[in-house]
Structure 1
């Protein structure tokens, strides 16, 4: 009986608090445009956003109609959705931090760069910049891309009879293997069933994260603790951390600090040197390696998959990539090992990647929270603790920012003037993705090999992706293409 009363009391407090917040923000934010909605105080914009396949386009249409700053009511909270590049830039004159929803990642990522804030984040960012800014380490990573890429070509060759190939799951498995080898220096295939379990549990954790963002009741921490998702998350985190701990202890037992495996260093090899100097604890390193795995696995797979999908419908662009590859290597499949120098010469391929990231940004939204009252002009003042959503997808699809925004035009990044803070695939400001260079090198290496080995064509069945925003951009029906050996 007591527990029932307690639950009802907590629910009542939650409703009262939510009502106060709604009243405060709707009054305080009355100058911020709000798209009309029926029964606004009860349902807000929930109905308009109910179908996930409509959310992305609804957001773009609203930004075009009402402007780049919009008030969105999804009870029990009010959020400001921003697509205007000038307003986004304005925020870096004022104080904002990551939104509260990033706390969902903390059980797995701890105090890694994604979830950390303040001075602790600044110190860690400065330290890790030494790793991701190291040309020597990047060259070691490229050796992994090269070796893994060759194995991946063999796997793709086994798929050429599939005329309706969903490329996403294959690409996710590939990028996870690459990340595991570059982050920890181990091949998942060499770990047998333990490697398979690691992949499965990483995927389980990501599915739980998606559910927490999608299901309103799971966003409330104390309710989440009673769900099956919570138990799945805890089991999976335990296994993933155990996998890391085993590898960490193996590497720590090395006698020679500079020892490499097959002439290559992994991120963990470098971080262990900080551990031996008492700069980072084992837990600090585990948080950063888990963050690296999470941040680079799904996003890179999604970007590569959408790049192949776009190229399937643009054979002329494929041919331009081929011409560049022949110019760099002398011929297709020359057998020459790809180097950092080769990747720097792939200027047109880089334009293709940038245009893919614009049209299909792997991270469609990011959240921030105002920590000081901020005047953004036009009579709009945003109060302390207000949640913001920066719509990266919206920024990339506004005619104000890009001419013919729905068309795939790689040359725009060579000829057009790109407005500041209108192109944000890696985030923006001081918290821009630290792995940007790593991701670009991996995508260049992979696409170079795929286009040189295969002609990419549309699926033989009629297909149109059903785009939805999850933690990353997703397609409910996959991404279907077909491959033909060159």
Structure 2
């Protein structure tokens, strides 16, 4: 009896809250064009989320029909959706605060750079900019890209017989390994089952985040606490944090001259120095490392996957990349280790990456309330993508899938394809 009453009470509160959102929606934003929606008084435009295959096209059609600024209701949020490039540029010139949906990430990312605001965000950003602005640290990262890239080429070579290769899962595993080594200084493969569990639990957390964006009832925090997704999230966060805590304690026990292992430093090595100076707490460092892992895992993997997919249909562009590689290294597969200087010379490859990001933006949307944007990870991501694509194009001829294929694009936390991204590889 009690459970029935509780369910009815939850339903009543949800309806009342949705009605309040609708009132705000119609009262304060009445002059902004609104796409029509079914059952708008309860669900708003959430119905569009039920069929993820259509959502991008629905958004494009709405922008064409109603203009570049429209109002969208996804309870409990009332949102202005902007697709007009000039309006977006003007909007981001102002000082702005991150939208409420970023609170979904706080249980995992805490006060990391992605979820932080105000003066705390500014001071933390300044501190991290010192890390990512260090040429020495970037060169250490490139050593990781180089070593991991060589192992990745061997893995791709084993996939040559697959004429319908979905590159996304392979790329995600590769980028997560690279991120773990650059962020914490450990190889996931060296941690055995603990490393496998870490990967699985990060994936679990990301799936919960996607559900929170898509399911109206999970967007309301106190309702979310009663769901299976909440329990999955808490279990996974506990394991991921435990993995970090073990590595943190291991590194903390080392004396300063042992911080640099095999000639390479990780982000954690540098942040621990701030911890020893009482500038950052262990929790601060964990939040930033988790943010670094989350921010670079899906986005870089998706960007690299779409780059390979696009290159598969443009062999002429592949040849121009090859010409640049030969100009820099003297020949393909010369055996010369890639350095920071080499990557700076890859101007054409950088243009290819930038065009890929324009055509297939890894982050298809972002939310703000009307903090300055942070791009401290941009340099890291560009260096990783250059190193990886340089090796792949130099070792393999990339072609379209031998089977007819068209990606089914959907906006999740990152841009995704429901049916993967299919290509085929041929050894050069």
TM-score range, shorter chain: over 0.9
In structure 2, distance between residues paired with 1:314 and 1:329: 23
Q: TM-score, normalised by structure 2?
A: 0.94
Give the superposition deviation at 1:352.
0.6
**Change over 3 Å in CA distance of 1:237–1:329 after alignment to 2:** same
**Change over 3 Å in CA distance of 1:219–1:20 after alignment to 2:** closer
Q: TM-score, normalised by structure 1?
A: 0.83
In the TM superposition, what whole-angstrom CA distance separates every residue of 1:78-135 from its partner, at most 9, and x where no partner exists? 3210012232233345453111111111111111011111111111111111011111
Mapping of residues 342-381 of structure 1, within 5 Å: 342-370=342-370
Structure 1 window deviating more from structure 2 (320-329 vs 62-71): it is: 62-71
**Change over 3 Å in CA distance of 1:238–1:371 after alignment to 2:** closer
In structure 1, distance between residues paired with 2:272 and 2:411: 36
**Is there any run of 5+ residues in structure 2 with no aligned partner, and where?**
none
Structure 1 window deviating more from structure 2 (119-128 vs 445-454): it is: 119-128
In structure 1, distance between residues paired with 2:6 and 2:196: 43
Q: Provide the secondary structure at the position in 2 that maps to 1:366.
A: coil
Give the superposition deviation at 1:222.
2.1
Q: Provide the secondary structure at the position in 1 that maps to 2:54.
A: helix
Give the superposition deviation at 1:268.
0.3
In structure 1, distance between residues paired with 2:27 and 2:225: 34
Structure 1 window deviating more from structure 2 (25-34 vs 194-203): it is: 25-34
**Change over 3 Å in CA distance of 1:258–1:64 after alignment to 2:** farther
Give the superposition deviation at 1:214.
1.7
In structure 2, distance between residues paired with 1:291 and 1:214: 22
CA contact (8 A) 1:175 1:297 kept: yes
Give the superposition deviation at 1:49.
4.9
Give the superposition deviation at 1:68.
1.3
**Change over 3 Å in CA distance of 1:92–1:163 after alignment to 2:** closer
In structure 2, distance between residues paired with 1:6 and 1:73: 26
Mapping of residues 163-174 of structure 1, within 5 Å: 163-174=163-174
In structure 1, distance between residues paired with 2:119 and 2:375: 25
Give the superposition deviation at 1:208.
1.3
CA contact (8 A) 1:257 1:273 kept: no
RMSD, aligned α-carbons: 3.8
In the TM superposition, what whole-angstrom CA distance separates every residue of 1:421-464 from its partner, at most 9, and x where no partner exists? xxxxxxxxxxxxxxxx0000000000000000000001111111
**Change over 3 Å in CA distance of 1:133–1:204 after alignment to 2:** same
CA contact (8 A) 1:142 1:339 kept: yes
In the TM superposition, what whole-angstrom CA distance separates every residue of 1:274-309 from its partner, at most 9, and x where no partner exists? 000000000100010000000001110000001000
Give the superposition deviation at 1:357.
0.6
What is aligned with 2:336? 336
Give the superposition deviation at 1:72.
1.8
In structure 1, distance between residues paired with 2:115 and 2:77: 22
**Is there any run of 5+ residues in structure 1 with no aligned partner, and where?**
379-436
**Change over 3 Å in CA distance of 1:320–1:377 after alignment to 2:** closer
Structure 1 window deviating more from structure 2 (242-251 vs 145-154): it is: 242-251
Q: Provide the secondary structure at the position in 1 that maps to 2:367.
A: strand
CA contact (8 A) 1:343 1:444 kept: yes
Q: Provide the secondary structure at the position in 2 that maps to 1:307.
A: helix
CA contact (8 A) 1:18 1:77 kept: no
Structure 1 window deviating more from structure 2 (104-113 vs 71-80): it is: 71-80
Q: Provide the secondary structure at the position in 2 that maps to 1:171.
A: helix
**Change over 3 Å in CA distance of 1:5–1:372 after alignment to 2:** farther
**Change over 3 Å in CA distance of 1:371–1:187 after alignment to 2:** closer
In structure 2, distance between residues paired with 1:76 and 1:258: 51
In structure 1, distance between residues paired with 2:200 and 2:415: 20
Give the superposition deviation at 1:13.
3.9
Give the superposition deviation at 1:376.
29
Q: Provide the secondary structure at the position in 1 that maps to 2:375.
A: strand
**Change over 3 Å in CA distance of 1:440–1:270 after alignment to 2:** same
**Change over 3 Å in CA distance of 1:98–1:307 after alignment to 2:** same
Give the superposition deviation at 1:62.
2.1
Structure 1 window deviating more from structure 2 (332-341 vs 114-123): it is: 114-123
In structure 1, distance between residues paired with 2:291 and 2:251: 20
CA contact (8 A) 2:184 2:268 kept: yes
**2:77 matched to 1:77?**
yes
